[in-house]
Amino acid sequence: MQEPRREYERWLREFAADTDLKKELLAIAKDEAEIRSRFGEGLRFGTAGLRGRLGFGPARMNAYVVRRATQGLADCLLAGGDAAAGVAIAYDSRRFSRLFAEETARVLCGNGIRAYLFPHLAPVPLLSFAVRALGCAAGVVITASHNPKEYNGYKVYGRDGGQLPPEEAEAIFRAIEGHPYGEGRRMELEQAEGEGLLCYIAQELEDAYAEKVKALSLSPGLCRQMGAELPIVYSPLNGTGNVPLRRVLGEMGFMKLYVVPEQENPDPDFSTVGAAPNPEKPEAYALARALAERVGAKLVLATDPDADRLGCLAQDKQGEFHVLTGNQIGCLLLNHILSSRSAAGTLPPNGAVVQSLVSTKMPEKIAARYGAQVFEVLTGFKFIAEKIEEFEKSGEYAFLFGFEESYGYLAGSFVRDKDAVAAALLLAETAAAYAREGLSLWEGLQALYAEYGHFAERTVSKEMRQGEEGRQAVAAIMAALRAEPPKALGGRAVLARRDYLSCLRTQSAPQGGEKGEERLKMPPSDVLYYEMEGAWACVRPSGTEPLIKFYAGASAKGQAEAEGLVAAILRDLSE
């Protein structure tokens, strides 16, 4: 860790020509706590890249941090011989997103690496598609996903269009650490364009992506038939989903798509969405709910600013709207995909569904009915992308659908990250299928529970202090749980525990017997998982924020029983 005051003074001295930086840093000259927060250490580059509050200093998101990160990325591409393939760059509607995207392009071009830059806002799935379609060595998205307005981030993608695996992220981090802030070869955009190093991505690529998404439809005729009379409200939450999602749904026949006017256009302040532009949160839907009531819509869709996550409201028979969880949306989509393909005779005998290990277990029952196999992976969509790649190389399984509980879904393999645009089309189609039977999406969900049993899941996040103190607190919690593993949670005996750091599954010993151990076939990760009869729990640190997350899930004959068991498990874990 560097000495904060000395680093603060170095930034003031070396970047004195930057009047905005000078003004901001002089304003905190006597605030030692703020100086420690900004200059005690830098943002760490991980599998999700960089993410932090906007502002000046190594622990904030600013142009100097972006330049340094890009120089590290450029070093790795040059060392690996991948520079000729180039890098695709996209950005969302947050403050300084375009500036950071252009700084990324300038540094890449300054290193002789071709940059393919979107000329306007573009969502994560379109960037992932572009990396694959253009044959790029990497991709960068400037976004902080669904974080509050004060944040921005720098997300790096690999050649496959998926987020970086841990070893590649670590290599870039080491390369970044070899450069001081302010260092980096840069080229002016006009010069880079003139020399053919900067290329603006053409509309034809977006057209190709839209056609691929539309081809995912399982019932185009149903979309045209029911879409003409099914009102749907949509909010892009002032982000990147507005243009691509409206285009796809409109061209597929959903003619009664009402967009929340206050949240239609980019707004870096996200002034009407509550604390954050997060489609998981009920407050983000206040305006959309009001519009739905005015136009008689039973379904509301919302995408986060980089349009990789999709959330929704569904109305019940009493007219009440419910915010569906990511698990509920995932199960609705999975059931629609499997049942539709089964009816059409296009369901492969080796179909595979991939989900994160902290997601609901309901897909196991749905998939079993249709003869599909469910695979669990670590949290992070990059691991779902790796499974798709594995299936394609081996030919052993055919990928059908992937999802994680944090509102991320993927059908098709032309994108290798969460795709809210494609998910919105399939969810609208699912709603249309239920509407043809006289049911709302909410009633369709209840029908699934009646068929497969009631499932409940919940996540609780415990926020720590920023910086090293927060990391130590998280590490202490994980160490304590490893030192004294819980024997029971929520009144249910822990039958087995999995430690993904040691890659061991330990079965609890029967009375007078011996514990059994087996190796877990997953990469090491700081995750603890507990198996119980009809229930499970998981604990893991967040990869992007100073948080520790507690997950729990259960199934039971009734929803109240399942939810009660989940609450009891989480209560025991937190204690």
Tokens found for residue 352: 């595979």
pTM of the model: 0.95
Domains of the chain with bracketed CATH: 1-40 (no CATH), 45-202 (3.40.120.10), 226-452 (3.40.120.10), 455-574 (3.30.310.50)
Tokens of 29: 């000259």
Half-sphere exposure of 149 (CA within 13 A, CB side): 13
**pLDDT of res. 514:** 55
Averaged over successive runs of 10 residues, the pLDDT of the chain (575 residues) comes to 88 96 97 95 88 96 97 96 93 98 98 98 98 98 96 97 92 94 89 97 98 98 96 98 98 98 97 95 97 98 98 97 98 98 97 97 98 96 96 97 97 97 98 97 97 95 76 88 95 96 88 74 93 96 80 95 96 88
User: CA 284 → CA 32, 78, 246, distances in Å?
Assistant: 36, 43, 19
Q: Which residues make beta-bridge pairs with 273? A: none
User: Residue 105, Cβ neighbours under 10 Å: how many?
Assistant: 28
Which tokens sit at 401? 């659908």
Q: At what angle do helices 326-344 and 362-370 cross, to 10 degrees?
A: 0
Q: What pLDDT is stored for residue 511 in this prediction?
A: 56
Separation between Cα atoms, residue 53 and residue 144, nearest integer Å: 9
The residues near 407 (Cβ < 8 Å, ≥ 6 apart) are: 279, 280, 304, 309, 310, 311, 326, 329, 418
Scored b (16 or more CB within 10 A) or e, 435-466 reads: beeebbbbbbbeebbeebbbbbbbbeeeebeb
H helices within 114-265, ranges in order?
A: 124-134, 166-177, 189-194, 203-214, 220-227, 242-251
pLDDT in the model for residue 38: 96
pLDDT given at position 470: 76
Q: Roughly how many angstroms between the first and final C-alpha of the chain, as a whole number?
A: 32
Catalytic residue numbers read 145
| Cα radius of gyration (the chain) | 24
Give the model's pLDDT for residue 172: 96
Q: Any idea what the Cα angle at residue 145 is, between residues 33 and 113, rounded to 5°? A: 95
Q: CB of 493 within 8 A of CB of 508?
A: yes
Closest C-alpha among 481, 306, 453, 336 to residue 403: 336
How far apart, in whole angstroms, are the C-alpha atoms of residue 433 and residue 162? 31
Give the 3-state secondary structure of 346-413: CCCCCEEEEEECCCCCHHHHHHHHHCCEEEEECCCHHHHHHHHHHHHHHCCCEEEEEEECCCEEECCC
d(CA 556, CA 358): 18
Nearest to 108 by CA among 44, 150, 156: 156
Is 263 in a helix, a strand, or coil? helix
Report the C-alpha gap between 570 and 575 in whole angstroms: 9
Q: Can you say whether residue 425 is alpha, beta or left, with left for phi > 0 and alpha for psi between -120 and 50 degrees?
A: alpha
Which pLDDT belongs to residue 544?
Answer: 63
Q: Counting every residue, how long is the chain? A: 575
What is the residue whose two structure tokens read 């008689």? 296
8-state DSSP, 100: H
